[in-house]
Chain A
Amino acid sequence: MSRRSFIKKTTVLTGGLLLHNSMMKAFALDADHRINLGVIGCGDRGKGIMQILKELPTKFNIVAICDVLDFRLKETEKVLPAGSVQSVKQYKDHHQLLDDKNVEAVVIAVPLNLHFNLAKDALEAGKQVYLEKTMTYNIPQAASLINIAGNYPKQVLQIGHQYRYTPLYYKVKEMIEKGYLGKVTQIDCRWDRNWDWRRPVPDPSLERKINWRMYKEFSGGLPAELLSHQIDFVNWAFNTHPTTIVGTGGIDFYKDGRETYDNVQAVLRYGKEGMIGNFGATCANAREGYIFKLKGNKGTVSLLVNEGVFYPEAQTRKELQTVDGVTGATKITWNKDGGMPILTEPTKDGTYYAMVDFHKSIVQKQSPASNVMTGARTAVCVHLANEAIYTNTVQQWKPEYNF
């Protein structure tokens, strides 16, 4: 009998099918340190995160919520876990929440222009911080937050680019690193919708507070709120940043008094990689919605938020199909359109994995995958993209952005 050993290490099981639903249940069995959490900002995003935290009852315990608007606090009572409303403290001023000694960690989900100040306050108050993306409103704030966070090395500052945590996007990063796509030259990203991107306003005086995304003073518009996810993923997956950014845009459909553009396109050139990223969003067409395609000379990865497919180029397909048949356990199958699903079942919402990791980073005292440095890099990209779009100028990456 002949034996031949393989020098493959223990990562052998990474090709596994992730059974997310069962996996979640399995997590719930494990004893955990339950973290007392305060949520600052109870708009759609803050409430959305609280909804997801219901799936992680052993990891987080919401003890306080904060919003400047009374009706938001009222709405939030409905998304709190049943029976917990009485015990959850409600604040209108975030300073008071930060003074609450019972709060160990905070989620900050407020308008972009407030990110820097609130993150700073929270770190100074000794809290563990989950700060929504984009990290800061502009480049100087990004640089400054890096310095501030440096003073609190024992506290976690995680930035809400949650795609870094989903098994799907993680797998794609691995596929890129292993060269399955070959040399990637083009990346196409869209995040389209066919609605005005406004929230209902119960009182006209609250327009700017509620629809802050419409106003330059508060928001980085579509690039900051949507495209930053894909921009961050490209930075992460290729361990890079753009060198040149051009952009264009306008208020092309909703001429409703908004200042941020409802139609944008930015082209990011990644000089070192020889790669072009096309990032676009419109509020006036929803046909394709979310697009994220990475195109290499060996194959394409096409991603939705929770599913992805690999399409080999013709030559790659030939190389993959050299045998007459394949035998294997729970064989992964080709789609009818010639693609191969990257995972065999859709993932959960990315925020779920991001919050699991936030918990882990706190408990194990680790720096999260989406941290102040990576968050700053993406904040710079967004700032430059907006500069390019608003001023019709070509923006260049500068050495001082290499934090």
Chain B
Amino acid sequence: MQVSFIQKPALKAFHLEGYAQGTTYHITYYHTHAIIRQVAIDSILNGIDSSLSLYKPYSLINRFNRSTEGIATDHYLKTVVAKSFEIYKETGGLFDVTVQPLVEAWGFGVKHPDSLPDTARISALLKCVGTGKLSLKNNYLHKSLPCVKIDLNGIAQGYTADVLANYLRSKGIQNFLAEIGGELVVSGRRQPGSEKMSVGIEAPGNDPYEPAPYQRIVHLDHGALTTSGNYRKFYESGAKKINHLIDPHTGYSFQTDLISVTVWAKDGITADGYDNALMGMGLKKAMEFVERKKDLGAYFIYTTPDGVVHDTATHSFYTLLQ
């Protein structure tokens, strides 16, 4: 008598990578065959750009910014704006997508100004800032002042990772990692060994070409990781370090003890939505904030007043580091 085994075909790793949103993306997925086409990914990413990218003059977000009253949204814009409202509320306004005029004034936008803004200019711009000046009814995003402009760069990449993840799931893929611009979503495990996926947290001050470029390595099999930091985009004006994370309340860049925050959440849009605001809270408040939230974890790199760099993590995040 012959015993027959029905052997499952082995899963293999497939990699896709390319350019989008002014950065790179990487997808690793495990399947028996290469079933994802690069053109499909690129077309999804182009679609998101056409909606959310400040770098595309024709994008929906730019049309909104140019409009006097608002515009009808698409699915992408609506989803991200709705989530932005939620996080605005949760963070007491520290995350605010209407910060765009300030970001641009400080030289971190698409257009580079000729000079740095003075206090009068900041006060004037602050009048156009505040998520309260936005409202979303049905599919229409309305602004109460024509000068209100939004910048979704703080949340769009995390959301993009979600969109890619959902696409992979829709193709029946269970084990994958989808990353764009350092924001990523993980599902399942490496195959065939079934190890958790490993993700390096970039070490500030280390160069990516250093032998050990990671501050820590995280192991996980579900959820999203995003990082916000002030260690790459900054310049110095006198004694002050001006970074790209602008406080919507004051109009100036956040000056806290945090160098970077890495957030774990169930999905990319949530993680990415919170990371900038946590940077703005400073270590103590950010730690308390995350500990209060279910389904949120965070890892912090910060400096003490004597200039020494330390790191720490919330309870839930710490389990990922083991």
**B209 near A18: Cβ-Cβ < 8 Å:** no
**B184 near A325: Cβ-Cβ < 8 Å:** yes
Judge whether B9 is part of the interface by a CB distance below 8 angstroms.
no
A25 touching B184 in the complex, CB below 8 Å, given contacts A15-B204, A16-B234: no
**A325 near B233: Cβ-Cβ < 8 Å:** no
**A18 near B311: Cβ-Cβ < 8 Å:** no
A301-342 near B? 1/0 per residue, CB < 8 Å = 000000000101000000110111111111111101000100
Closest B residue to A17 by beta carbon equals B232
CB neighbours (8 Å) of B184 from chain A are 325, 327
Judge whether B116 is part of the interface by a CB distance below 8 angstroms.
yes
**B227 near A329: Cβ-Cβ < 8 Å:** yes
Judge whether A82 is part of the interface by a CB distance below 8 angstroms.
no
**A5 near B318: Cβ-Cβ < 8 Å:** no
Of the stretches B77-85, B120-128, B210-218, the one at the interface is B210-218
Judge whether A398 is part of the interface by a CB distance below 8 angstroms.
no
Of the stretches B58-66, B137-145, B236-244, the one at the interface is B236-244
CB neighbours (8 Å) of B23 from chain A are 331, 333
Closest A residue to B310 by beta carbon equals A5
CB neighbours (8 Å) of A87 from chain B are none
Number of interface residues of B (CB under 8 A): 69
Complex Cα distance A14/B231, Å?
A: 8
Complex Cα distance A29/B232, Å?
A: 22
**A15 near B237: Cβ-Cβ < 8 Å:** no
Judge whether A175 is part of the interface by a CB distance below 8 angstroms.
yes
Judge whether A180 is part of the interface by a CB distance below 8 angstroms.
yes
Judge whether B152 is part of the interface by a CB distance below 8 angstroms.
no
A29 CB contact (under 8 Å) in B177, B238, B309, B318: B238
Closest B residue to A12 by beta carbon equals B205
A284-295 near B? 1/0 per residue, CB < 8 Å = 000000000000
Complex Cα distance A358/B182, Å?
A: 39
Count of A-B contacts with CB under 8 A? 192
Q: Which of B275-322 contact A (CB under 8 A)?
A: 303, 307-315, 318
**A310 near B112: Cβ-Cβ < 8 Å:** no
Complex Cα distance A40/B26, Å?
A: 55
CB neighbours (8 Å) of B235 from chain A are 18-19, 22-23, 26
Judge whether B74 is part of the interface by a CB distance below 8 angstroms.
no
**B236 near A6: Cβ-Cβ < 8 Å:** no
Complex Cα distance A65/B19, Å?
A: 50
Closest B residue to A28 by beta carbon equals B115
The B interface, classified by DSSP as helix, strand, loop or mixed, is strand
Closest B residue to A310 by beta carbon equals B209
Closest B residue to A178 by beta carbon equals B210
**B213 near A329: Cβ-Cβ < 8 Å:** no
**B182 near A19: Cβ-Cβ < 8 Å:** no
B210 CB contact (under 8 Å) in A2, A180, A326, A329: A180
Judge whether A299 is part of the interface by a CB distance below 8 angstroms.
yes
**B307 near A327: Cβ-Cβ < 8 Å:** no
**B308 near A328: Cβ-Cβ < 8 Å:** no
Complex Cα distance A3/B230, Å?
A: 21
**A330 near B207: Cβ-Cβ < 8 Å:** no
Closest A residue to B197 by beta carbon equals A324
**B208 near A332: Cβ-Cβ < 8 Å:** yes
CB neighbours (8 Å) of B218 from chain A are 327
Complex Cα distance A8/B205, Å?
A: 9
**B308 near A26: Cβ-Cβ < 8 Å:** no
CB neighbours (8 Å) of A29 from chain B are 115-116, 237-238
A257-298 near B? 1/0 per residue, CB < 8 Å = 000000000000000000000000000000000000000000
- A selection of 28 A-B contacts at a CB cut-off of 8 Å is A1-B312, A2-B318, A3-B312, A4-B312, A5-B311, A8-B308, A8-B309, A13-B241, A15-B232, A16-B232, A17-B234, A19-B107, A21-B112, A23-B235, A23-B236, A175-B209, A180-B209, A322-B198, A323-B199, A325-B198, A327-B183, A327-B201, A328-B201, A329-B227, A329-B230, A331-B24, A331-B202, A332-B208
A interface residues with partner B (beta carbon < 8 Å): 1-19, 21-23, 25-26, 28-30, 175, 178-180, 299, 310, 312, 319-320, 322-334, 336, 340, 344
B interface residues with partner A (beta carbon < 8 Å): 19, 23-24, 26, 28, 106-107, 112-116, 177, 179, 181-184, 186, 190, 197-202, 204-211, 213-215, 217-218, 225-238, 241-242, 259-260, 262, 303, 307-315, 318
Q: A6-B309, A26-B236, A324-B197 are in contact. List 14 more A-B contacts (CB 8 A).
A: A4-B310, A6-B311, A8-B308, A13-B259, A17-B233, A22-B106, A22-B107, A22-B242, A175-B207, A324-B199, A327-B184, A327-B202, A327-B226, A329-B229
